Amino acid sequence: MELLVNISKKLTNKNSNEFVLNAEFKCGNEMIVLFGPSGAGKTLTLECIAGLEVPDKGCIIVNGTTYFDSEKRINISPQKRNVGYLFQNYALFPHLTVSENIIFGLRSRNNVKDQIQEMLDVFEIHGLEKRYPSQLSGGQRQRVALARALITRPKILLLDEPFSSLDYIVRMRLRRDLRKIREIIKIPIVLITHNPVEAYTMADTIIVYKHGGIEQIASPKEIFSKPINENVARLVGMNNIFKGKILDIRIDEVTIQSHKKIIAPGIEGLRIGEEVTWCIRPDQVMVVREDRPLGKAVSSNLFSGKITEIISKGATYLLFIDGDFDLEIEMPSHAFERLDIKLGQIIRVSLKKSAIHIIKE
């Protein structure tokens, strides 16, 4: 394992509110995304890895080097950890030029020119060397900050909300840059985001944070299709969440009694009579056309409801219906327009069986 974190830290603010961070995870040379709402302890975790904050207890090991171990009384200073840290606002030194910023962390003054040149090439920021950070665009600042962090050949790269203040095109660019970085240096990259899409597209492994604790560690696909609990389900946008009781168990499917009966794929270890939570993504709720025969996939779990709200998101529409189940539905705009859906209309929907996810209590 290239990165092993097992730390706890208690913070008390001015109003003596307590915040407790308990984080435990390990990973290899991969892209790890710390995902969760703000105030969940993601930045604190990065700061502990970098040595800018000291955990109360636990240990942090990077690439075989113990950065921190409360039992062995090891706490390497941030200066000696050799961590590449990209701060949320990049923290480029405003009084230094781009090239002065980039070489700031270099110890030896040998081959400085070649090393700057390499960074300029990797991040395609030629011609900016003599500019000051205030004369750069947001995307350029970020690339300079990445160059500054990587020129020292860090053992690990930590990125705090790298996408948050960038527009769409620059985000795409950053994604490409990060992929490029991974080809050049094989180190763990830990990235913070509260955006589910960024988490899904960037991560090899997602670590879901909430209230200072870790809820789930898994691949993006797993997190988004099989959230471990209601918190994670909400964070990944699985917004249709209901309670129910197991009524019947067959080989590959179970029947759940909620307001109405619902058929779901079977999972290990369920008992008849057990209370469960089940959920389905808004984009997996199918609106059924009355004039068409039903396909096999949508023939079960048919319900109806009245449309109470319609929100356009551009490429997709969100519909909210009240009925057998109060549901949120996300559908492509072309489908929405073809169906000629109106507010107040009663529609039939199918909850696709294979898309239903059961969370055990």
Residue 91: CB atoms within 10 Å: 15
Nearer to other proteins, 85 or 325 (CB): 85
In one-letter notation, the amino acid at residue 170 is V
In one-letter notation, the amino acid at residue 120 is L
- Least Cβ distance, residue 103 to other proteins (angstroms): 10
- Contact with other proteins (CB under 8 A) among 78, 196, 213, 237: 78
Query: For the chain, what is the total number of helices (H) and then of strands (E)?
Result: 10, 21
Is 14 strand, coil or helix? Answer: coil
Q: Which of residues 88-147 bind other proteins (CB under 8 A)?
A: 88-89, 91, 93-95, 104-105, 107
Nearer to other proteins, 160 or 330 (CB): 160
Beta bridge partners of 66: 61
Number of amino acids touching other proteins (CB under 8 A): 26
226-265 footprint of other proteins as x/- string (CB under 8 A): ----------------------------------------
Concatenate the DSSP letters of all residues of 116-173 into one string: HHHHHHHHT-TT-TT--GGGS-HHHHHHHHHHHHHTT--SEEEESSTTTT--HHHHHH
Nearer to other proteins, 100 or 230 (CB): 100
Structure tokens at 94: 């405003």
- Least Cβ distance, residue 42 to other proteins (angstroms): 16
Give every CB contact of residue 111 below 8 A, 6+ residues apart in sequence. Answer: none
CA distances from residue 192 to 5, 30, 85, 152, 244 in whole angstroms, order as listed? 15, 14, 12, 22, 35
147-166 footprint of other proteins as x/- string (CB under 8 A): -xx--x--------------
- Contact with other proteins (CB under 8 A) among 15, 16, 79, 108: 79
- Least Cβ distance, residue 121 to other proteins (angstroms): 21
- Contact with other proteins (CB under 8 A) among 19, 25, 87, 132: 87
Of 289, 254, 280, residue with least CA distance to 351 = 280
Whose structure tokens read 């000291």? 54
- Least Cβ distance, residue 118 to other proteins (angstroms): 17
Nearer to other proteins, 78 or 237 (CB): 78
- Least Cβ distance, residue 265 to other proteins (angstroms): 47
- Least Cβ distance, residue 76 to other proteins (angstroms): 12
Structure tokens at 262: 């619902």
Residues that bind other proteins (CB under 8 A): 47, 50-52, 77-85, 87-89, 91, 93-95, 104-105, 107, 148-149, 152
